[in-house]
Every structure is written in structure tokens, then in C-alpha cells.
Amino acid sequence: MLADTLNQAGHYWTYVGVGYGAAFVVLTTYAVRTVRRGRKLSRRLPPDQRRWM
């Protein structure tokens, strides 16, 4: 109901906002998770093996 009202007034800005927001949140969450996991797991490897091949 609220979304319909907002969209009628703003010509679909709600959908646009949700789309851009979701892209930002998903990519940021995935990037942070990947970097954190890399930091955590690399500490478990001996330093001489952290050379990415």
C-alpha cells in the first residue's frame, strides 16, 4: 500500500531504491565476508605457504 503510494508519487523510485540498495548490500556483505575469511584462514597457514602459488 505504502509502496504503491510512493511509486505513484515518485514514478517507481521505491523499486529503484530497493534495487540499488540490494546490490550495494549484497556486494558489500560478500566482499567483507571474503576478505575476513581470507584473513582468518591465512593465519592458520605457515607463513611460507601464504604465497598464492
Contact between 1 and another protein (CB under 8 A)? no
- Shortest reach from residue 46's CB to another protein, in Å: 8
Residues of this chain, 22-41, that bind another protein according to CB under 8 A: 22-23, 26-27, 30-31, 34-35, 37-39, 41
Contact between 5 and another protein (CB under 8 A)? no
12 with 19: CB under 8 angstroms? Answer: no
DSSP 8-state code for residue 50: -
Task: Write the CB contacts of 15 (distance below 8 Å, at least 6 apart in sequence).
Answer: 7
Chain residues that interact with another protein, rule: CB under 8 A: 7, 10-13, 15-16, 18-20, 22-23, 26-27, 30-31, 34-35, 37-39, 41-45, 47-53
